[in-house]
Amino acid sequence: MTVLNSAEVIRLYRKRAGNYNFTANLYYLIGYREYAYRKKAVNAMALQRGDTVVDIGCGTGLNFPLLQHVVGEKGKIIGVDLTDAMLKRARQRIKKEGWTNVELVQADAATFQFTEQVDGIISTFALSMMPDLNKIVENGASSLSPGSRWVVLDLKMPANWLSRLWPIYVFITRPFGVTNDYVKQRSWETISDAFHQYLHNTFKLELYGGFSYIIVGETVDNH
């Protein structure tokens, strides 16, 4: 098995939903600046006030505050996730914050139907766990308005001596579905290839010694 299928993803994240936010924060103990990386990814979309953005694999909505800060009340956030329990937590966050511009959709990212052109797509620590990566990137790219960006923040194996620490990294991130098969799958390469195929001006930033990365691609601006 190289990736989790839909049923396995749902089972895993139903178990993790209740303490997902707390567990994610524990990575600060090993120097992984998750919030800073999320913020960097959001900023890389270059969104404007009033824009519409889709968060693929939105989970409990950890990106929503950052996205709200950028698009504002007149903007729109569409959160897409496969797991009902994660979306339940996201709804609780939305209600607590009083946001009225967030729409949640329970769907598989590979079959999610964009109903309108959007001004940005983001996926953080989620896309690499999904099958049909090429299809997902193609689908998103075709739904972006001209000059808009697809941004992914995710995990990878370093292309340096730090790769020897990968077994430790797998152990630490196993609660989120990362296994040794993740290395064999090399999803970061598949995502990169898809970005170069369907998007333009693609660039990548490596983070945390190469264990994490941000990749950015944009559609052609017709202006």
What rounded mean pLDDT belongs to the chain?
Answer: 86
Tell me the pLDDT tens digit for each residue of 131-175. Answer: 899 999 999 999 999 999 999 999 888 887 666 766 766 666 665
- Identify residue 99 by its one-letter amino acid code: W
Q: What is the DSSP letter of 61?
A: T
Q: What is the DSSP letter of 16?
A: H
DSSP 3-state assignment of 177? coil
Question: Of 199, 78, 206, 187, which is closest to residue 127 (Cα–Cα)?
Answer: 187
pLDDT of residue 16: 55
pLDDT of residue 209: 86
Query: Could you give the CA distance from residue 173 to residue 178 in angstroms, rounded to a whole number?
Result: 6
Q: Which residue has the higher pLDDT, 12 or 220?
A: 220
The answer to whether residue 216 scores a pLDDT higher than 60 is yes
38-52, 57-71, 115-129, 171-185, range with the lowest pLDDT: 171-185
pLDDT of residue 1: 34
CB 127 within 8 A of CB 102: no
Mean pLDDT score, 92-114: 96
pLDDT of residue 11: 56
DSSP 3-state assignment of 154? strand
Tell me the pLDDT tens digit for each residue of 1-45. Answer: 345 566 665 555 555 545 555 455 556 555 678 899 999 999 999
Mean pLDDT score, 178-194: 82
What are the residue boundaries of the structural domains of the chain, listed by start? 6-218
CB 90 within 8 A of CB 79: yes
44: alpha, beta or left? (left if phi > 0; alpha if psi -120 to 50): alpha
pLDDT of residue 185: 79
The residues with which 217 forms a beta bridge, in sequence order, are 150
Strand blocks (E) in the chain? 52-56, 76-81, 102-106, 118-124, 144-155, 200-207, 212-218
Largest CA distance in the chain: 48
Within a 13 Å sphere around the CA of 84, how many CA atoms are in the beta-carbon half?
A: 2
Query: Could you give the CA distance from residue 102 to residue 52 in angstroms, rounded to a whole number?
Result: 10
Mean pLDDT score, 103-130: 94
pLDDT of residue 162: 67
Q: What is the DSSP letter of 102?
A: E
Alpha-carbon Rg for the chain in angstroms: 16
| Residue carrying structure tokens 């196993």 | 174
Class of domain 6-218: alpha beta
Query: Could you give the CA distance from residue 34 to residue 199 in angstroms, rounded to a whole number?
Result: 26
The answer to whether residue 59 scores a pLDDT higher than 50 is yes
CB 139 within 8 A of CB 117: no
Query: Could you give the CA distance from residue 54 to residue 52 in angstroms, rounded to a whole number?
Result: 7
